[in-house]
Chains A and B, each alone.
Chain A
């Protein structure tokens, strides 16, 4: 079953065309790499999935949402189905790891504190950091912070994880660990779309790859 379906989509930033004539789809549990040079439009395409980049024209659907017509009220509900991972982590530095995760759960409607604790323990275990909950983001290494971001993205059992250069700030060994973890998550049924320009990672963990170049996207 397709969770993303893009047909002849055009993405613009202000009046400037970023990508055009995009035909792209993603199935459940699929792992996809988006490759391309810096500035080629990988991040813009990823942002369009969570309605942070307007779609100028075309048919763009994700889950049950029509991205060309999505209302401001619907956007938080779309984003709860998507786990977003950034290169620069974007953790809330004014609170501990556990509070970061708790915040996301509370923001997305979780109320029962026991269930919140259980879910936090579950995702911290999944990313291999069960004992780091009390630390603040700046007290963790880059790799650990990225694992926490992955944990955060898993909190609402998303159907899709969007990772924008998640290994960009990490050394090769840690980067490989992170990609391995994302593949593991993908095998459990969550689709993963990862933007990267690190070809060695793709060689190590092969998957369907799209190249973003010349304002377009094509399968490798």
Chain B
């Protein structure tokens, strides 16, 4: 028994557009995943940098006015994220809490010095800036020394640079693969309609009249695929969040740039792939349709 033509049309439409939408969605999901990795990496780097402590250890003879002076400097500096003053007494309490021994009982006085614990903004955590900062602090005679993990910061920055280059390389390759995949999917879909495009041309339709429905269809497909990819990315985010609560994946602001990237790539690649694909057949002579 012959198939209901309406149903057959719906089935073929469903198959063609469902498969092409899923192919595009998978490609966009990969792009989103890399964008997610890049953002997470950048966010983790920032978090680590901003939690790096620079200690300004003060001489025991530091007067209250000097403490206020350095506090005022730290308060006004735009590269300081936060600072915290630890008095000699507070430092001793922390020491006893951490180590268990009270040095006062042992040597008769408190040897631990007061300090400022400073967190810099992430953009300023680099060797050159920290050296300058340290040099500037040397002008304050009451600062005994400036302590931070110099080797670690240097290694950390070097490693981050290498990882960023690698991630950018991987994301560029993935983006290229995505563009090629989406382009091929759309071109195959348009190829299957080449004789319809030819008929449209021969009845006198203008180029834009032919292009419009195809462009709309493929852009719509691209946007639906972007939506599907975003749902997948939220799923991955949710799963990772359950594994490690410290990941910033619960925050919608984290997803916003990823959503924008996925939708922009989905829209732009679909639009241009469809445009170039259709133009090819609009310009093609009828005879040439049989040779491709």
- Residues of A at the B interface (CB closer than 8 Å) are 13, 47, 50, 52-54, 72, 76-77, 79-80, 84, 90-92, 94, 103-104, 106-108, 136, 138-139, 152, 156
Q: Across the interface, do A52 and B285 meet the contact criterion of CB distance under 8 Å? A: yes
Given A136-B5, A138-B5, A108 and B204 touching (CB < 8 A)?
A: yes
A80 to B199, alpha carbons, bound, how many Å? 13
Q: Which of B5, B198, B209, B286 contacts A107 (CB 8 A)?
A: B209
Question: A77, A90, A106, A139: which contacts B199 (Cβ < 8 A)?
Answer: A90
Assess whether A94 is in contact with B204, with CB atoms less than 8 Å apart.
no
Is B202 a contact of A50 with CB atoms below 8 Å? yes
Ranked nearest first, the 4 interchain pairs of A and B with the lowest CB-CB distance are A107-B205, A80-B204, A79-B204, A104-B203
Tell whether, in the assembled complex, residue A90 and residue B195 are in contact, meaning their CB atoms are under 8 Å apart.
yes
State whether A107 and B204 are in contact (beta carbons under 8 Å apart), knowing that A13-B287, A52-B285, A138-B5 are contacts in the complex.
Answer: yes
B217 within 8 A of partner (CB): no
Binary CB contact string for chain B from 257 to 292 against chain A (1 if under 8 A, 0 otherwise): 000000000000000000000000001011100000
Given A107-B209, A139-B5, verify A79-B202 contact (CB < 8 Å).
yes
Q: Which residues of A sit under 8 angstroms from B286, Cβ to Cβ?
A: 47, 52
Chain B residues near A92: list those with CB within 8 A: 196, 199
Whether B202 lies near A90 (C-beta < 8 A) is yes
With a cutoff of 8 Å between Cβ atoms, the chain A residues found around residue B206 in the complex are 76, 107
Interface pair A107/B9, CB less than 8 Å apart = no
Task: Say yes or no for B200: interface residue by CB 8 A criterion.
Answer: yes
Asked if A108 contacts B205 (CB within 8 A), the reply is: yes
- A52-B285, A53-B285 known; A76+B199 contact, CB < 8 A: no
Please name the residue on chain A nearest to B284 by beta carbon. A52
Q: B283 to chain A: which residues have CB within 8 Å?
A: 72
Most buried by A among B5, B200, B205, B210: B205
CB neighbours (8 Å) of A139 from chain B are 5
Q: Which of B229-281 contact A (CB under 8 A)?
A: none
Q: Secondary structure of the B side of the interface?
A: helix
Tell me, in angstroms, the Cα distance from A80 to B202 when the chains sit together: 9
A152-B287 Cα distance, complex, nearest whole Å: 22
A156 to B204, CA, bound (A): 10
Complex CA gap A37/B273 in Å reads 42
Residues of the B chain whose Cβ atoms lie less than 8 Å from the Cβ of A91: 199
Whether B203 pairs with A84 at a CB distance below 8 angstroms is yes
20 A-B Cβ contacts within 8 A? A50-B202, A52-B202, A53-B287, A54-B285, A76-B201, A76-B204, A76-B206, A79-B202, A84-B203, A90-B198, A92-B196, A94-B9, A94-B196, A104-B203, A106-B209, A107-B206, A107-B210, A108-B204, A136-B5, A138-B5
Closest to A93 in B: B196
The chain A residue sitting closest to B282, CB to CB, is A72
Least CB distance, B280 to chain A, in whole angstroms: 14
- Central interface residue in A76, A94, A106, by most chain B CB within 10 Å: A76
Known: A13-B287, A53-B285. A152 touches B202 (CB 8 A): no
Which chain A residue shows the least CB distance to B202? A84
Query: Within the complex, what minimum Cβ distance (angstroms) separates A214 from chain B?
Result: 21
Inter-chain CA distance A72–B9, complex, in Å, is 34
CB distance from B290 to the nearest CB of A (A): 12
**Assembly CA distance A54 to B287 (angstroms):** 12
By a CB distance below 8 angstroms, the chain B residues around A90 are 195, 198-199, 202
**Which A residues are CB-close (under 8 A) to B205?**
76, 104, 107-108
Q: Which residues of A lie under 8 Å from residue B200 when comparing CB positions?
A: 103, 107
Closest Cβ–Cβ distance, residue B191 to chain A (whole Å): 16
List of B residues within 8 angstroms of A84 by Cβ: 202-203
Give Cα A140–Cα B151 distance, bound, in whole angstroms.
83
* A76-B203 Cα distance, complex, nearest whole Å: 8
A79 CB contacts on chain B under 8 angstroms: 201-204
- Shortest C-beta distance, B13 to chain A (Å), equals 9
Specify the chain B residue showing the minimal Cβ separation from A79: B204
Contact with A along B173-202 (1 / 0, CB 8 A): 000000000000000000000011011111
Question: Chain A's nearest CB lies how many Å from the CB of B215?
Answer: 16
Minimum CB–CB distance from A34 to chain B (whole Å) comes to 17
**Distance to closest chain B CB from A215 (angstroms):** 17
**How far apart sit A79 and B205, CA to CA, in the bound complex (Å)?**
9
Chain B positions within 8 Å of A76 at CB level:
201, 204-207
When C-beta atoms are compared, the residue in chain A nearest to B206 turns out to be A76
